[in-house]
């Protein structure tokens, strides 16, 4: 993508406010004249939705709850998925290619919401940022580690307001949990367990085959985005792409940005120093596994070691998915739920344990009767009553460096890198040397040592291919 030479130019909204015409009052009418609650057109945020179906449809509906928002453009490669959003926003211009939309609408939009498959998050977001557009990007922020580093740098370079779509990051629960941990109610945290019920889509299955006609509503080439060219197969759309490495990031990518957010928001960590994992193996015949390097496994467990930022020791963080969970704490009564249906987090400290549900909701000490017996700390962390979506809208209107978001890219970027280390470990674990025997048959099944500064595994070079993928011609990231 070419860089835009005018990335530091004022937004359309600021331009209107600062021109002599605006100063003279030709276009700006005082609010009191328009009536209480009326928002002048110059004070509205014009948003383009890149990915208008599925999660994109619900994201746009959330933004539109603000009277300060106009949804002015929609992008989707599949007309079938865009139906609802096109009905909800009939005045929005519709495109199939976000690159065409950005070229034609760059003077009409202030911000973009990116809700495509994981495969296209980074290329779409960076293209918008290079035009000086604020961005809201669904989780996970990116498909791989390299992309997360690029978007983190881009947010600073292009001075745009950013937010990742992990709504729990703006919730009261994670703030209350931080207040409890910071108050010393569990002592120094040394071990963390995280888990999810995902995947709830097919994983650990053979690569789809067969000859199928591409639906007339779908631009298959655009749907593939940066991924290598393959034949169309309906098995990937509209949701099951999550289980295939070319397009998705598996259970970890789907849910870790929600479930592990309290871990990063509360504890003094950023990048792991090592990661190791194990995954479920499916056998198609005796002694012959059917590990498919194209797809995510049906379940996995991973262990990450994080040096504390103060240099005083490490924190161990474990992740379980695919129906696997940590052992129930002795402090939890047999009939008490461990987390909730979607998953949860347990932090173990030198003085006790604390648990929360998915999204950091409902934090409670273990055993739970301590919630009534212990004095809870006073509320000291600012809450976000407007919610995650409207927080970003308001921050965009305030302008870069003035507004505040819960999960800007300087937080979400390193967080995403750390999460995707787990997928790097999984893909390393699944590598097979067909000519080797015994333990040597799976050379990547080891504790991988990570040099975060240089984004490199230092003790198994073959794993570094999963730090940065190859991009199809025309889809490369250029910061």
Structure-token match 């109610």, residue found:
185
Position 280 scores a pLDDT of 95
Closest CA to 168 of 259, 44, 51: 259
Angle at the Cα of 132 (from 126 to 137), degrees rounded to 5? Answer: 45
Closest CA to 409 of 248, 249, 257: 257
Pairing state of beta strands 353-357 and 343-349?
Answer: antiparallel
Position 199 scores a pLDDT of 97
Largest Cα span, the chain: 82
Q: What is the pTM of this model?
A: 0.91
Mean pLDDT, each 10-residue run in order, the chain (479 residues): 42 40 33 44 89 97 98 98 98 98 98 98 98 98 98 98 98 98 98 98 95 98 97 97 98 97 97 97 87 95 97 97 97 97 98 98 98 97 98 97 97 97 97 84 96 98 97 91
How distant is the alpha carbon of residue 119 from its chain centre?
Answer: 12
DSSP state of 215: P
Q: What is the helix, strand, coil percentage profile of the chain, to 5?
A: 35, 20, 50
Position 6 scores a pLDDT of 42
Closest CA to 389 of 158, 136, 155, 141: 136
391-429 burial code (b ≥16 CB/10 A, e <16):
bbbbbbbebbeebebbbbbebbbbbbbbbbbbbbbbbbb
Name every residue whose Cβ is closer than 8 Å to that of residue 12 and which is 6 or more positions away in sequence: 46, 107, 108, 109, 110
Beta strands in 103-223 (DSSP E): 111-114, 134-137, 162-164, 189-196
CA distance to 275, 280, 307, 466, per residue, from 293 (Å): 19, 13, 31, 12
The H or E element containing residue 59 is helix 55-63
Structure-token match 């460096």, residue found:
401
Position 158 scores a pLDDT of 98
Indicate the length of the chain as a whole number: 479
Round to whole Å and give the CA distance between 43 and 45: 7
């Amino acid at each position: 993508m070419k860089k835009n030479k005018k990335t530091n130019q004022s937004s359309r909204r600021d331009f209107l406010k600062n021109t002599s015409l605006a100063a003279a009052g030709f276009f700006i009418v005082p609010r009191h004249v328009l009536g209480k609650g009326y928002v002048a057109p110059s004070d509205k945020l014009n948003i383009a939705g890149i990915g208008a179906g599925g999660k994109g449809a619900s994201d746009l509906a959330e933004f539109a709850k603000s009277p300060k928002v106009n949804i002015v453009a929609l992008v989707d490669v599949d007309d079938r998925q865009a139906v609802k959003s096109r009905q909800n926003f009939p005045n929005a211009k519709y495109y199939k290619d976000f690159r065409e939309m950005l070229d034609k609408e760059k003077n009409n939009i202030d911000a973009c919401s990116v809700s495509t498959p994981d495969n296209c998050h980074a290329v779409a977001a960076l293209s918008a940022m290079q035009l000086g557009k604020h961005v809201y990007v669904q989780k996970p922020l990116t498909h791989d580690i390299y992309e997360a580093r690029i978007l983190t740098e881009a947010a600073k370079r292009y001075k745009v307001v950013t937010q990742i779509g992990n709504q729990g990051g703006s919730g009261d629960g994670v703030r209350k949990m931080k207040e409890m941990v910071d108050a010393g109610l569990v002592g120094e945290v040394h071990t963390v367990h995280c888990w999810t019920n995902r995947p709830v889509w097919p994983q650990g299955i053979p690569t789809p085959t067969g000859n199928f006609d591409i639906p007339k509503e779908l631009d298959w080439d655009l749907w593939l985005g940066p991924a290598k060219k393959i034949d169309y197969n309906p098995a990937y759309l509209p949701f099951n792409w999550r289980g295939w490495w070319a397009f998705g990031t598996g259970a970890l990518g789907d849910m870790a940005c929600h479930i592990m957010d309290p871990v990063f928001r509360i504890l003094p960590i950023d990048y792991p120093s090592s990661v190791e994992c194990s995954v479920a193996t499916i056998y198609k015949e005796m002694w012959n596994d059917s590990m498919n390097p194209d797809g995510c496994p049906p379940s996995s467990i991973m262990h990450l070691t994080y040096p504390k930022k103060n240099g005083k020791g490490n924190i161990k963080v474990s992740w379980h998915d695919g129906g696997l969970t940590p052992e129930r704490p002795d402090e939890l009564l047999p009939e008490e739920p461990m987390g909730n249906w979607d998953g949860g987090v347990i932090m173990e400290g030198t003085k006790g344990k604390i648990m929360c549900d998915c999204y950091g909701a409902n934090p409670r000490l273990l055993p739970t009767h301590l919630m009534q017996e212990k004095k809870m700390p006073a509320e000291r962390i600012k809450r976000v009553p407007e919610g995650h979506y409207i927080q970003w809208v308001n921050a965009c209107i305030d302008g870069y460096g003035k507004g505040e978001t819960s999960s800007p890219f300087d937080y979400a970027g390193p967080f995403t890198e750390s999460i995707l280390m787990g997928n790097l470990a999984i893909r390393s674990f699944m590598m097979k040397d067909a000519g080797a025997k015994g333990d040597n048959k799976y050379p990547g099944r080891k504790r991988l040592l990570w040099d975060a500064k240089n984004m490199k595994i230092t003790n198994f070079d073959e794993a570094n291919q999963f730090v940065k993928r190859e991009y199809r011609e025309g889809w490369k990231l250029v910061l």
